[in-house]
Structure 1
Amino acid sequence: MIGLAAAAIIVATVHPAGLTGASTVHQSTPVPAPGTGDGTLTIRTVSDVDGDGSYDAALDTGIPGARAVVTDAAGHTATATTGPDGTVTPDLTGLSGGKYRVQLSPPPGGALLPAPAGGKPPALSAPTSFVDVSGGKAAQVTTGLWDPSQYCQANAKLLTCGLARGNATGQKGLVTFDGSFGPAHPGGTAATTATLTHNEEQQAVFGIGTDRTGNAYLGTYVKRHTEYGPAGAVNAIYRYNRTSDKVTTFTTLPGTLTAHTKGTAPFYLADDAVYGKVGREGIGDVDVSGDGTLLYAVNLNDNKLYAVPINGTGDAVTAGTAGSYRIPKPATGCAGEWHPFGLGVRGSRVLVGGVCGAENTVSKAEPWGDPSRMRGFVYTFTGSGFTPLFDFGLDYPRGCAYRFTGAPATAYRCDDTTTAGQRMSADWEAWNERVPRTESHLFVSAPQPMLSDIEIADNGDLILGLRDRFADMQGNMTQAYHSTELVSAVAAGDVLRACSPGSPRSPGSPRSPGSSGSADSFRSSRRSFSLEKNDSCGALKGALPDNEQGPGGGEFHNDRTTHEDAVHDQITEGGLALQPGRNRLWSTAYDPFDDSPFEQGVRLWNPDNGSITGNRALQSTHDSGSVLFGKGNGLADLELVCDQAPVQIGNRVWYDTDRDGIQDPGEPPVPGVKVTATPRGGGTAIAVTTDANGEYYIGTKNGLKPGTSYDLAFDHTAATTAGLPGSPTATGLRWTLRSAGSDRRVDSDADSAGKATVTVGKAGTVDHTIGAGLITPLNTLGDRLWYDTNGNGVQDDGEFGAAGADVGLFDPATGKELGKTTTGADGKYLFTDLSDGSYKLCFLPPNGYSFAGRDTGRSGDGSTAAFPNGCTEPVTLGPDHRTDLTLDAGLVKAASRLTLVHKDAKKSTLLPGAVFQLWQDTNGTPGLQTSGDHPDTRRASACATDQLGRCSFHDLPKGTYYLKQMAVPEGYAKPKNPVTGPYRLTDGKELLVALASKRDR
């Protein structure tokens, strides 16, 4: 639990005579006897996908490998580990009493942490909970775990960016829209699509990364016919912030980009200079780390991964100094050039993917090269380097980019006999710069793969997004390379699934052991993965078996579209988004709806079977003369816009029967306790009340903020106490020991005033360890240690308390130390919850002080500590004397003092009104010198004798002193020599000097 100061009964000091060790004063409670027979306890751990603190059986799947410890009141334990379905029924044979404490720990080695609890029924329990299975009763505990870096709210929106030709203005740039699509065109209402920017604000981009504080990061991209953004021909990463509603340059990575050729109006029809630069210059994919602190970007100019620190949040973020890591060319199986591009980030995992383009197989006879030599590769980024994870071939049948089925029958028709290089074939080609032949509608295709995006599925499989490079080399009704012919590219991207035997589950089945319910914890060797085969991936079955397309002759994802007179077998554009735990996978695509040609949009699949569950049309591109990209790559990357993961604090208020400050099994909860959290820096306080289980939870839904410190106040005055032992009054309760024991999960955090302080961590932090125990008070001793300035033994006005002094509690009969504490800022101290009996207190004075005389003042405000040992007389507490707050001790300086007594020389009458100066011999010359080069030193102010003829000089260092009489009482003669001495003082001693004056005759 949170670290707080010492409790009321645990004291820390040293007695003048040798106080030793700390002790606790409390009463004990007998261990319950075994019940007549325990019922069944079932423990379940689940993945709380939406972080709402409630158990949704359809959404929150079981987590294996979590460890449960069940403890009885005697301290005996039983341990158990959750099985493949996330449940376990522990053997309680060795426990007794029937009332137990259950403590759950996440599976080792993963990223899972406690999730929010206490939501709507059926509510999830905190990692520490209490059950009663006595008398055959059954109990069930369901606890949520999560990786907050993978949280995304149920109604998350999607974000992509539209692309437009040349330097056109006013076209859609960044757009955001609901991720839930309907079956009917356009898949949602226009009101759910918001245009955030226009194309001229960022121009050509592909990679998009989003953080959880309102920022989208956009990587500059090289696309023929499309100009660079405001920063120019450099590898700029732009940032859009939803609060400022502006696009700014976040950072610029190394590399200069080839300038576009604007030409003459209509502009950018040719733009041949960048034809071969697509995929070789600019920035590939962009992603934000799971914790939101790093921006990852693949630089296509130098084949390096850049990790740019994101400092701050919201519109105040700035870019730190980037680290760069060369992405190695695969050692084997890599023909031609190495083209890293795509990223996959889930939790702490970071994957980087690319293709080897087999350019060295391109020839004049076969300008499309040898696709069998191309391979895709995926690496794991370790934080400092890369390890191979998976590689796969790209020579598999993919059907046609465009199958014309209308009239005239003599028009060119692509069919399943097509091969790479044939007109409108969707089969991958080696990277090349050829100019493909058109069909009758002036469509062209020459698909070349770029591994542009990676998603990690819930079961650890990889989902690979491939973008068609050629559809960024050729526009819509723009000039072919080195030609004036106007042609239109038809894109033919792809979405593949790579399956791992580490998590082969079918829909609805529990996650396998080792996955810990989180794809982030999944690790695999390079050869663990295999590419989907004829629509199958492990135990999963896809959407298009035996369609003579895809690896093995079938496709897992349904990525085709059918129109009245045409079919597109591959419509995706390489941007992916997957929402963990919710069976939703999206991809950018053109013509997502059947019979609605020339549209740019998004397709939604069930990732467990590749079936279409929705489509979304974002923009029509039907006008062939427009500045949009028709059936080509008209959209950039695709990202989810996720909120910050919720935060929560909480635990339990209970009645501490044995007064030991620890939440023991069988100790009852206390409902009705008000808990108020007030931000330390100012702000609105949040108040909740403990429920029937004594539990309280304060979270994001209540207004709790991450990264904020709160003062907690527990108020028991309206608590329900009928179920507590002895039915004490609510107002008569007191708080138990704070921070007792070694387990912070089951201690009490409230101080004696019911106060605690907690700092909420970053987004996603859940702290269920802030508990508070209540007790019925017993006896109390205490009062005050003060500085007795005038040494009269009375607490006079203006005399301050002595803070931080040690006070010990002893048994006067045996001398045994029972406890110890220190005085507060006001000098007060208190021993509470004392059993009936006799006690003695002993005080340890600060260095340089001793005690004033005992019992010299009035009752309750005088010193009761004996000089010099600083101990009180025994005090007896019991039914007739529960509280004694009269045990004070006055402190006086343990320094030298000189006191003179002035009398009449003849009658010895005490004389007031005589004035004296005190001088210390500091020049080493005998006698008093008050002037000259080296005079002695005057100490303190002049002192006049009082009615008792006394005058004192206090706090004097040891040394030799002289008194000089400056005035005599009226009627008395001045002495011929007003100087007397020398007087020698030693440390801590008082010197009494008697002087006399004669009457003036």
Structure 2
Amino acid sequence: MSLALSAALSASLAATGVVSAVSPAAADSGDGDATIRVVREVNANGKWDQALEPGMAGVTVVLTDDAGRSVTGITQADGTVKLTPGNSLGGGKYRVEVKNPDEGVLFPGFASARPNLIDPTVLSSNVEFVDLSGGKNVEITTSFWSPEDYCQKNATLVTACQNASIPPGSASPDSKRTLTSFPFGTRGDAVADPGLVSDLANNGQTGTVWGVGVNRVTKQVFSAAYAKRGAKYGPGEAGAIYRTDPATKQTVVFTKVPNPGGTQHNMNAGMDQAFGPVVGKESLGDLDVSADGKDLYVVNLHDRRLYRYDATQPTAATQKASYPIKDPGCAAPGDWRPFGLGLHEGKVYVGGVCSAQSTGNKADMRAVVQVFDPVTGQFTGTVMDQPLNFPRGGWTGANACGGPSWYPWTDTRPLTQDGKACTGDVIQNPEPELTDISFEINGDMVVGFADRFADRAGWNLPETSGTWPATTAVNGGDINRACRGGNHMFVLDGNGGCKNNNTGPAVSGGEKPDVKEFYPGDYMGTEEGGHQEISSGGVAFSAVEDRIPFTAMDPIQKTGSGVRWLDRNDGTSAINGDGLFLNNDFGKARGMGDLEVLCDEAPLQIGNRVWKDTDLDGVQDPGEEPVVGATVNLYDAAGKKIGTAVTNERGEYYFDSTVTKNVKPEDFPYGKTYTVKMDNPADYQTGGVLDGWKPTRPNQGNNDQIDSSGETSGNPYPAAQVTPKGAGQNDHGADFGFVNPQADLSVIKTGPAWAGPGGEIEYNVIITNNGPNRSTRWTVTDPLPERLTDARTSDAGCGIAAGILTCSGGPLDVGESHTVKVTAKAPADFQPMEIMTNCAKVTGAEPDPNPDNNDSCVDTVGVPVIDPVVGGTAAAAAIGGFLLIRRRRTSGAAM
């Protein structure tokens, strides 16, 4: 080929955009940055509520470009990570993937469909698409959640009031409330104004109970019998668990836990004094129900075992199983006293104390929390083992025995404390019981401690023996925070475990500079005196509220018991207005049981994205466009349409009852199979948003979050089935990809303009995909001129048979080309000015919208061989200036 012809062809190819191959997009350092924030969602509203939803550290985030190259980052303590394409990635558009750090426990949080990514307080899906071209910076927030964290605002709280059976002649009647409920925001005096609360059960139905659990699936309330001096058992006696229906106010004995201890009350003998030593050692402790409503757990204080019952039944004849709670190595086996429970992310946390009763040494008191795995039925380890000899707030009254620390368990009434004589009738001598466990959203443990002494000493009781003088016990429980320390063990705030370790309030006696506590607001006081630790041991947690309630002594400026609220962030309390007074029995000697919040089951969200799969690979690539305005329908298992969505500017759609609100909650329970269909005929008709488009290949690769789930299965429309197995198990993988199968393939055939007899000829066949979609396969056929000889090609996809060249290959991306090279020899008798034409044709696997460029031909003209002695000038002029000169060789010099 002449230089002029070669240059002309090159110019022509450049003008038509044909290149020999398409390389991956070059890195573009001019792209901006993507800041990704990952938070722990709690309230299913599709927004980042900064006060309630903390950042998640240690989450892997991947930024990927169209060429499949990626950079990876890990979120910091505040939940953010900045990813920069730099020189590693290119193309301007990128896919962001946030990896689930704990699959099966955490699920995608609720996302909001929105037209752009301007507002970082609106939550995105865990897979997002960003445009960083031209230096644009993007900040997005996505989330995960544990469905058990969900609760509705102002949910119902349930607690238990304890009623006095002494003095026997003035015992509280059976009609007096035990279980009672009220909205989370209730404050005031429910003794003076009973209308503030709703009584669920009375003293005759349950007797004295402490542990309370709620089944959020069946809405039933369970309560467990409790051993307390001067407070009778209910009809089920010491091992009873009661079930109460809040709707009907009906209470029944759900079951009787075996081996609860046999000590009986005797109210007529010394104000039930002989019963005091069994407090914390017989009957039942804390009770909880799993988030899925299937299992009820309760601690037997007597045999120190964890019992498990079927919580789905009206009653339980026997336990499903029971498990010994291992002694953590207390000073003596009898010192191990388990009591409290907490359920968190599929595990059961069992708490107790080493009471130091055998030694009387404060240094032997410890608070221990062990973890039980319901799947294996085994205790898997200890997550907290903390000494309890740290200083605490006490009672600042005139009596020297104000209880400024925890004290070893005893069965007697102390006459001295810390070397000082207890000169008056009033005494605070806190004996620790670890009674309740909750978890903050950031993973911190909230621990409720009760004061055993208050339950065995009583309120305003006369002298009952020579060793038990007149006594008025003042409760000294506590609410504590335990934060992660070394080896992932929890460290109590009192031992310096939390960064936000406050000192106590300024009451009579001054600040408590040596006291470390996360919740300094757990006190009640005046300038004349104060109670610096008032917890009764019950704690309830609602992740959607900014305050945490706990059962307390003197929750308002009135002697008795009820519920108090603290700020979750700084532990403070509005002393005069942040309490609910519920019970005046037992005075300051503790008259409350456990506290629970009756949360609804977590709602569901499914859906996510519809897009144009231009490269036909079934995977959502960064540069692929969304499908806007497509209709998506949701059907239940019976085929009833229960929801409709339309994809937004970014191709997103969602079905839920809390954010998009396009499905009724009652139509959308978990455990059912739902079908998402793109079955609106108008979308596929002429002028529709999917006119000419068809579903792409489903389920490609191993990442359900970025593939297409739409299957036709013989149906005219793509559909995806989703079966959420549990409440709140959101699924954002119901994606639909569509392909427009057209691919405009073109062919250009090049070859020499002139050839002489027997001369070497080289042909190039250039196949190009001009779009708009990827070509999965192409075929070229080229009937070679009959008189060519020695035709050959080295292309692996080609073959020559019966004089016809056939080549196949693919795929070809949009703009990509492939060149086939063929060499042959011109006929030996190729005549001057004879024209030899060679034509090639290309076809593809997809419809071709422009068949006019599927054929290409090239002409080669024969030239004569001129003997130099004849003189070639005239001959050359006759054929346009081109000739071949055959040089004759002799034994001498060339002529």
**Is TM (by shorter chain) over 0.5?**
yes
What does residue 17 of structure 2 align with?
none
Pick from 592, 601, 607: which aligns with 1:650?
607
What does residue 328 of structure 1 align with?
326
What does residue 631 of structure 1 align with?
588
Bigger relative contact order, structure 1 or 2 (CA pairs below 8 A, ≥6 apart): 1
Q: Summarize deviations over 1:52-85 as a string: whole Å, max 9, x none.
A: 2222334332222222222222322232222332
Indicate if the aligned counterparts of 1:288 and 1:294 stay in contact, CA closer than 8 A. Answer: yes
1:95 has 2:89 as partner: yes
What does residue 454 of structure 1 align with?
437
What does residue 434 of structure 1 align with?
412
What does residue 547 of structure 2 align with?
584
Indicate if the aligned counterparts of 2:619 and 2:708 stay in contact, CA closer than 8 A. Answer: yes
What does residue 538 of structure 2 align with?
575
Give how far 1:427 is off.
4.9
Query: What are the within-5 Å matches in structure 2 for residues 843-858 of structure 1?
Result: none
Q: Give distance in 1, aligned partners of 2:517 and 2:621.
A: 58
Change (3 A) 1:756 1:309: same
Indicate if the aligned counterparts of 1:500 and 1:538 stay in contact, CA closer than 8 A. Answer: no
Q: Summarize deviations over 1:414-447 as a string: whole Å, max 9, x none.
A: 1xxx3xxx4x656544323334679999655543
1:674 has 2:616 as partner: no
Query: What are the within-5 Å matches in structure 2 for residues 123-142 of structure 1?
Result: 123-142=122-141
TM-score, normalised via structure 1 length: 0.63
Q: Give distance in 1, aligned partners of 2:408 and 2:522.
A: 22
Moved more, 74-83 or 537-546: 537-546
> Secondary structure at the residue paired with 1:62?
coil
What does residue 810 of structure 2 align with?
none
Pick from 697, 704, 709: which aligns with 1:749?
709
> Secondary structure at the residue paired with 1:767?
coil
> Secondary structure at the residue paired with 1:271?
helix
Change (3 A) 1:216 1:380: same
Q: Summarize deviations over 1:827-868 as a string: whole Å, max 9, x none.
A: xxxxxxxxxxxxxxxxxxxxxxxxxxxxxxxxxxxxxxxxxx
Q: Give distance in 1, aligned partners of 2:354 and 2:76.
A: 43
Give how far 1:129 is off.
1.8
Query: What are the within-5 Å matches in structure 2 for residues 74-93 of structure 1?
Result: 74-92=67-85, 93=87
Change (3 A) 1:720 1:165: farther
Q: Summarize deviations over 1:603-631 as a string: whole Å, max 9, x none.
A: 22224433114655544655xxxxx2222
Change (3 A) 1:728 1:66: same
What does residue 771 of structure 1 align with?
735
Query: What are the within-5 Å matches in structure 2 for residues 493-508 of structure 1?
Result: 493-501=477-485
Give how far 1:291 is off.
4.9
Give how far 1:585 is off.
2.9
> Secondary structure at the residue paired with 2:540?
strand
Indicate if the aligned counterparts of 1:44 and 1:141 stay in contact, CA closer than 8 A. Answer: yes
Query: What are the within-5 Å matches in structure 2 for residues 820-839 of structure 1?
Result: none
Pick from 107, 112, 118: which aligns with 2:106?
112
Q: Summarize deviations over 1:637-675 as a string: whole Å, max 9, x none.
A: 112222212211111111222344332222211222222
1:350 has 2:344 as partner: no
Indicate if the aligned counterparts of 1:356 and 1:376 stay in contact, CA closer than 8 A. Answer: yes
Indicate if the aligned counterparts of 1:563 and 1:597 stay in contact, CA closer than 8 A. Answer: no
Indicate if the aligned counterparts of 1:53 and 1:144 stay in contact, CA closer than 8 A. Answer: no
Indicate if the aligned counterparts of 1:647 and 1:706 stay in contact, CA closer than 8 A. Answer: yes
Change (3 A) 1:177 1:319: farther
Indicate if the aligned counterparts of 1:716 and 1:733 stay in contact, CA closer than 8 A. Answer: no
Q: Give distance in 2, aligned partners of 1:109 and 1:760.
A: 14
1:532 has 2:515 as partner: no
Give how far 1:242 is off.
3.3
Q: Give distance in 1, aligned partners of 2:228 and 2:408.
A: 19
1:466 has 2:449 as partner: yes
Change (3 A) 1:602 1:687: same
What does residue 221 of structure 1 align with?
226
Indicate if the aligned counterparts of 1:458 and 1:581 stay in contact, CA closer than 8 A. Answer: no
1:552 has 2:514 as partner: yes
Name the Cα RMSD after superposition. Answer: 4.3
Q: Summarize deviations over 1:15-62 as a string: whole Å, max 9, x none.
A: xxxxxxxxxxxxx99977777932222222122132322223343322
What does residue 380 of structure 1 align with?
371
Indicate if the aligned counterparts of 1:352 and 1:381 stay in contact, CA closer than 8 A. Answer: yes
Give how far 1:191 is off.
5.8
Q: What percent identity do the matched residue pairs reach? A: 33
Give how far 1:307 is off.
3.2
Indicate if the aligned counterparts of 2:678 and 2:718 stay in contact, CA closer than 8 A. Answer: yes
Aligned-partner residue type, residue 83 of structure 1: Q
Indicate if the aligned counterparts of 1:672 and 1:718 stay in contact, CA closer than 8 A. Answer: no
Query: What are the within-5 Å matches in structure 2 for residues 115-264 of structure 1?
Result: 115-118=109-112, 122-166=121-165, 168-180=173-185, 193-213=197-217, 214-231=219-236, 233-258=237-262, 260-261=264-265
Q: Summarize deviations over 1:786-811 as a string: whole Å, max 9, x none.
A: xxxxxxxxxxxxxxxxxxxxxxx999
Q: Give distance in 1, aligned partners of 2:203 and 2:694.
A: 65
Q: Give distance in 2, aligned partners of 1:354 and 1:36.
A: 58
What does residue 598 of structure 1 align with?
559
Q: Give distance in 1, aligned partners of 2:846 and 2:535.
A: 87
Q: Tell me the number of residue pairs that the alignment of Structure 1 and Structure 2 aligns.
A: 705
TM-score, normalised via structure 2 length: 0.69
Give how far 1:696 is off.
0.6
Q: Give distance in 1, aligned partners of 2:640 and 2:180.
A: 35
Change (3 A) 1:188 1:671: farther
Aligned-partner residue type, residue 251 of structure 1: T
Q: Give distance in 1, aligned partners of 2:689 and 2:22.
A: 21
What does residue 489 of structure 1 align with?
473
Aligned-partner residue type, residue 641 of structure 1: L
Indicate if the aligned counterparts of 1:577 and 1:640 stay in contact, CA closer than 8 A. Answer: yes
> Secondary structure at the residue paired with 1:748?
coil
Q: Give distance in 2, aligned partners of 1:472 and 1:665.
A: 65
Query: What are the within-5 Å matches in structure 2 for residues 63-74 of structure 1?
Result: 63-74=56-67
Aligned-partner residue type, residue 552 of structure 1: D
Indicate if the aligned counterparts of 1:258 and 1:273 stay in contact, CA closer than 8 A. Answer: no
Indicate if the aligned counterparts of 1:598 and 1:621 stay in contact, CA closer than 8 A. Answer: no
Q: Give distance in 1, aligned partners of 2:317 and 2:66.
A: 54
What does residue 902 of structure 1 align with?
none
Moved more, 631-640 or 222-231: 222-231
Q: Give distance in 1, aligned partners of 2:846 and 2:213.
A: 72
Indicate if the aligned counterparts of 2:226 and 2:283 stay in contact, CA closer than 8 A. Answer: yes
Aligned-partner residue type, residue 94 of structure 1: S
Aligned-partner residue type, residue 132 of structure 1: D
Q: Give distance in 1, aligned partners of 2:226 and 2:113.
A: 45
Moved more, 274-283 or 73-82: 73-82
1:708 has 2:672 as partner: yes
Indicate if the aligned counterparts of 1:29 and 1:657 stay in contact, CA closer than 8 A. Answer: no
What does residue 597 of structure 2 align with?
640
Query: What are the within-5 Å matches in structure 2 for residues 709-724 of structure 1?
Result: 709-717=673-681
Give how far 1:753 is off.
1.5
Give how far 1:695 is off.
0.6
Moved more, 763-772 or 597-606: 597-606
Structure 1: segments with no counterpart, 5+ residues: 1-27, 362-368, 404-412, 503-522, 623-627, 780-808, 815-874, 882-1001
Pick from 331, 337, 340: which aligns with 2:335?
337
Change (3 A) 1:711 1:740: same
Q: Which has the higher helix share?
A: 2
Q: Summarize deviations over 1:188-236 as a string: whole Å, max 9, x none.
A: 99765322222322221111222322132211111122222232x2412
Pick from 684, 687, 695: which aligns with 1:735?
695
